[in-house]
Structure 1
Amino acid sequence: MQNEAYGALLAHARETAALEQVSGRLGWDQETTMPRGAAEQRGEEMAAMEGVLHARRTDPRLAEWLAAVEPADAVAAAQVAKVARAYARAMKVPGKLAQEIARVTSVSQGIWAEARSRDDVAGFLPTLAEVIRLKREEGAALAEGGDAYDALVDDYEPEMTGADIARMFGEMRPRLVALREKVLGAAHQPKPLDGAFGADAQMRLARDLATAFGYDWSRGRLDIAVHPFSSGSGNDVRITTRIAESDPFNCFYSTIHEVGHAAYEQGIDPDYLLTPIGQGVSMGVHESQSRIYENQLGRSRAFTGWLFSQMTERFGAFGVSDADAFFGAVNRVQPGFIRTEADEVHYNLHIMMRFDLERALMQGALQVGDLEAAWNDRFKADFGVAVDRPSNGVLQDVHWSVGLFGYFPTYSLGNLYAGCLHKALRAGVQDLDAQMAAGDLSAATGWLREKVQRHGSSMAPRDVIAQACGFAPSAGPLLDYLEAKFGAIYGV
C-alpha cells in the first residue's frame, strides 16, 4: 500500500506539473507574441487553467496518499515533503480566489504595459488596487492569523519572513551606502558608452553570450519582451531580453541574467523532470544563479576583456580605448532610475526600497493612491535624484501588476547567496580568470551545475547554498567582493 500510495502521489504530481508548464507557456506567449486584443480572453484562459490546477492541488486523494506513504529514500522523502507543503498551502486558499487572482493578474499585466508606455499612473492604479486587494486576501488565508506579507514571502523563499529580510537589509545597508559614497566621490570616474549599436548585431551577440554561458538551445529560445524574464523548466526553458540601441549592456546583461535562471532549470537532474523537486528550490537560490552569471562572472575583469574584443569585432571602434576602460564602463556606478540596469553597488538599494513599499502596501500602512508619491520621495532620499517620469519610477517593474508581492527581496537574497558561491567557486576552480578571458565559462557553469543546479528542490534553500560553499550563507562575502572590486576600479 505504501509503494502504491507513493506511485499514485507521484503520478498525480507529474500531471499537475505538466499542466503548470502549459499555464506557464500561456504566460510566455502573453509577453512575447500574443496579439494585444487577446488580453481579456487570455485572462479567462488563465483563470480556467488555475481552476483546474487548484482542484488538482486540493484533490482529497492527496491527503489519503500522504497519510499512507512511507518514503523509501531521501529523494522520495523530498518529493513527498514538496507535495505535502503545496497541498497544505493550496487547502488554505479558496478555489474562486485562486481563479480570480489568475484572471485579474493576467489582464493587469497588459494594462500595466500600456500604462508604462504612456507614463499613465492613474490608468494603472485602479487595477493595481484590485490586485493588492486579492493578494491581501490570499495572504490572510495563508497566514491564518499571522502576518499576510510573511505568508506571501514564504511562497518564494520558504521559511523566510519580513523580519528576517529587514535584518538582512539592516546588515547590508551601512556598508553599501559607505561604498557608494566613496565611489561617487572618487576622482576617477569611468566613462559610459556613447553611440548607437544596431539591434540585429546586439541580438547576434546576445545569442553568442547565451551559448557561452551554457544555454541549451535545443531546449530553449530567446525572444524580445518589455521586461526580460525566464519561463519553464526541464526540456522547455525560454528566455527573453530587450534592446536599446544606445545601451547594448541592457541587452547583453539581461540575457546573461536570464540564462542564469534558465541554466538552473536546464541543469536539474533529468530524473526529477516534472516531479515536485524538478524545479528550482526557491527564488533566492534562483536569483543566486542569475546574479552570479551576470555579475561575478559576466562583469568580471577577465570576461569583460573577452566581451570587449567581441564588441570591437562586431561594431568596430566604439569610443572605448581598451579593455580596462571597457571594464570600467561595464561596472560604472551611477544612481540610475532602472533597477534592472543598476550597478552592483546600487542594486540592493533598489530592492530595499521596493521591499519597504510593498510590505507597507500589504500591511495597509501605505494606500495605493499614495504609492507614486511614496516611491518618488523614497527614491530621492535613497538615490539623490528626482524621478523624472513614471516609467522610470513606480511603473518600471512588472512584478506588482502580476501579483508577485514578496518576490523582490529574493533578488537581494540571491545576491547574498551569489557572493558566497563566488567565494567557494574561486577556491574550487583553478585558472578561472584565464578561462573566462578566453570566453570559456564551462568550468564555472559546470561547478554551479554540480554544486547547486542539479539538486533542484531536493534540499532546503539555505542547505543547498551551505553544502555548495562549505559554510553558512551570510552577507560578508558579497560585501567583501563589492568593496574589493569597486575599490580597485575607482581607486578608493
Structure 2
Amino acid sequence: MSAYDDLMAYQRETEALAQIAGRLSWDQETVMPRGAAPQRADEMAAIEGVLHARRMNPRVGEWLERCEADPTLDAVARAQLRHIRRTFERTTRLPAALASELARVTSRAQGEWALARASDDFAAFAPTLERVVRLKQEEAAALADGGELYDALLDDYEPGATAEKLTAMFGALRPRLVALRERVLGSDRRAPRVSGEFDEAAQLAMSTELALAFGYDMEHGRIDKAVHPFSSGSGLDVRITTRTQPRDPFNCFYSTIHEVGHAAYEQGIDDAYALTPLGQGVSMGVHESQSRIYENQIGRGRAFTGWLFDRMRKRFGDFGIRSADDFHAAVNYVHPGFIRTEADEVHYNLHVLMRFDLERAMIDGDLAVADLPDAWNARSARDFGVEVDRPSNGCLQDVHWSVGLFGYFPTYTLGNVYAGCLHAALRRDVPDLDAALAEGDTRPATGWLREKVQRHGGLMKPREVIASACGFEPSETPLLDYLEAKFSGIYGL
C-alpha cells in the first residue's frame, strides 16, 4: 500500500469514531435519560480523547509529508490531504487535556442550560457558562498562535473566514435590512394569522410528508423531537429533529424543512467520499445555505405555499385562512420578536448580528458572563424594539454557547447570503421552477442543489463551492434584492 492508502485507511477509522461521537450527542438531545448526564459527559470526554490522539498522531504528519510530495495524486486526493493537514495542525496545537475537558464540560453544560432555560434562571447557569467561556478562550489562544482569538474559533465552522471580513459583509447588510424592516412595520397591510390548536400527531405526520417532499431519505434517516431542532450524521445515517407548538404549526413544519436542507446536503454527497474528510459538508456557512434555501426561498415561496395550503386544509380543516395568497402572507408574517429560530426573514439576520457581536466580546474578554443578560436586553431593545421579559426569551434561548459553539452564529447569516446567491442562479437555470413547486414537486430545485453543491462535499473550499454553483462570486446583494422584492409584494410597499 502507498502512503496515501495507509493514511486514508487510518482516516476512515477516525471518521467512523467521530460519527459514533455524533450519535452520542444525538442520543443526549433526544432520548437519553436526564439522570445519565454525568456519565455521558465522561463518555464524551473519553471518546474526544481518543479522537484527539488519533488526529495528532505523528504518523499522520509523516504520511502527509510523503503524500504531499507525490506528484501523481489527483484533485480528490489533494483535497483529502488539505483537510487532513488542517485538522492535524489544529489538533497538534490543542492540548489533549483541554480537548477532553471541553467535551466533558460542554456535555454537562447542555443539560444544565436546558434546566436553567426551563426555570428562567440565568444565575444558576452563569457559573457553568463562565467555565465554558474560559475553556474556549484557552482553546482560541492555543489555536490562534498569536492571531485573533475569535478568528481561531470561527475557523472551525467556516475555514478561511475572519471576523474582519464578516463585519464588513454584515455592515453592508444592516442598513438595507433595517430600512426594509421599518417599511414593512410601517405598512398599513397586515398579514393574517392561523387560528386554533393543531394536534401534535397531525403536525408530526405533516412534518414527515414535508420531509419526503423535499427528498429526505427515510431509509437512511429518522425524525425525532428535541428542544432545539438539529441535524446529525452523514453518509448512510443522517438524522433530524423537529419540535411542535399547539398553536403554531409553522414552527414544526419549517423547522423540519430547514433540518431536511442540512440532511439533504449530507445525504447528497458522493458515496465515494463516505467516511473521509470530503464526506461531509465543507463548512457551516455552505451547510446553512442549504437549510435556508430549502426553508425560505423554496418552502416559503408563493408557489410551494399554495400547495402547502391545500395540504393543510385537508389535514386540519379550517384554520382561519381563506386564500392561498393570505396563507403565503401568514407564512411570511413579519414581526419583531424575541426568538431567533422563530424570526421572519427580515429580522432573522439582525438576531445573528447581535449574537456575533456579543460572543466576540465574551471571547475577547470585553463582556463578562455576569453582564451578558443586561447587554443582551439592551441590544434587543435597540435592534427589535422589544423589552426582554425573561431569560428564556433572551440570552438563554439558544443552546450554542452552552455547548461551546463560539464562532458558529455568524455562519447562519453567511448561509443566508450564500442561499441568496444560489437562489438567483437557480431561477436563472430553471426558469419554470414555480410550475413544479405549485404541485409540491421540489425535485427541479433540490436536484439542481444536489448537482451544483451537495454532491461535492468537501472537495472545494467554501466560497469556491458557491462561486462554482452560481457562476459569480458570492455577495450580499442577491439576498437583499430577494428580500426587498418578496416583502414589498406581500406588504404592498
Residue among 46, 51, 54 paired with 2:52: 54
**Partner amino acid, structure 2, of 1:142:** L
Q: Distance in 2 between matches of 1:244 and 1:257?
A: 17
CA positional deviation for 1:440: 0.3
Q: What secondary structure, in the 3-state scheme, does the structure 2 residue paired with 1:239 have?
A: strand
| TM-score of the pair, normalised by structure 1 | 0.99
- The runs of at least 4 aligned residues of structure 1 exceeding 2 Å deviation read none
Partner of 1:308 in structure 2? 309
Partner of 2:282 in structure 1? 281
1:94-138 CA-partner distances (Å, limit 9, x unpaired): 000000000000000000011111111011111000000000000
Partner of 2:193 in structure 1? 192
Partner of 1:123 in structure 2? 124
Partner of 1:491 in structure 2? 492
1:391-441 CA-partner distances (Å, limit 9, x unpaired): 111100000000000000000000000000000000111311010010000
Identity of aligned residues (%): 67
Q: Distance in 1 between matches of 2:124 and 2:306?
A: 45
Partner of 2:322 in structure 1? 321
Contact 2:193 2:320 in 1 (8 A): no
CA positional deviation for 1:37: 0.1
Partner of 1:21 in structure 2? 19
Residue among 24, 37, 43 paired with 1:45: 43
- Matching of residue 378 in structure 1 with residue 352 in structure 2: no
Matched ranges for 1:149-160 at <5 A: 149-160=150-161
Partner of 1:358 in structure 2? 359
Q: Distance in 1 between matches of 2:389 and 2:292?
A: 28
**Partner amino acid, structure 1, of 2:353:** M
CA positional deviation for 1:336: 1.1
Matched ranges for 1:26-425 at <5 A: 26-69=24-67, 70=70, 72-425=73-426
Q: What secondary structure, in the 3-state scheme, does the structure 2 residue paired with 1:438 have?
A: coil
Residues matched between the structures, number: 490
Contact 2:262 2:290 in 1 (8 A): yes
Q: What secondary structure, in the 3-state scheme, does the structure 2 residue paired with 1:401 have?
A: coil
Contact 2:150 2:360 in 1 (8 A): yes
Q: Distance in 2 between matches of 1:383 and 1:192?
A: 21
Partner of 1:12 in structure 2? 10
**Partner amino acid, structure 1, of 2:467:** A
Q: What secondary structure, in the 3-state scheme, does the structure 1 residue paired with 2:241 have?
A: strand
1:155-203 CA-partner distances (Å, limit 9, x unpaired): 1001111111111110000000000000000010112222111100000
Q: Distance in 1 between matches of 2:386 and 2:95?
A: 44
CA positional deviation for 1:389: 1.1
Matched ranges for 1:436-447 at <5 A: 436-447=437-448
- Matching of residue 469 in structure 1 with residue 470 in structure 2: yes
**Partner amino acid, structure 1, of 2:388:** V
Q: What secondary structure, in the 3-state scheme, does the structure 2 residue paired with 1:381 have?
A: helix
Partner of 1:459 in structure 2? 460
**Partner amino acid, structure 2, of 1:178:** A
**Partner amino acid, structure 1, of 2:295:** E
Q: Distance in 1 between matches of 2:419 and 2:174?
A: 17
**Partner amino acid, structure 2, of 1:429:** V
**Partner amino acid, structure 1, of 2:434:** D
- CA-atom RMSD, angstroms? 0.6
Structure 2 runs not aligned, ≥5 long: none
Q: What secondary structure, in the 3-state scheme, does the structure 1 residue paired with 2:402 have?
A: helix
| TM-score of the pair, normalised by structure 2 | 0.99
Q: Distance in 1 between matches of 2:362 and 2:165?
A: 18
Q: Distance in 1 between matches of 2:235 and 2:124?
A: 38
**Partner amino acid, structure 1, of 2:383:** D
**Partner amino acid, structure 1, of 2:157:** Y
**Partner amino acid, structure 2, of 1:119:** D
**Partner amino acid, structure 2, of 1:18:** A
Q: Distance in 2 between matches of 1:397 and 1:468?
A: 32
**Partner amino acid, structure 1, of 2:332:** N
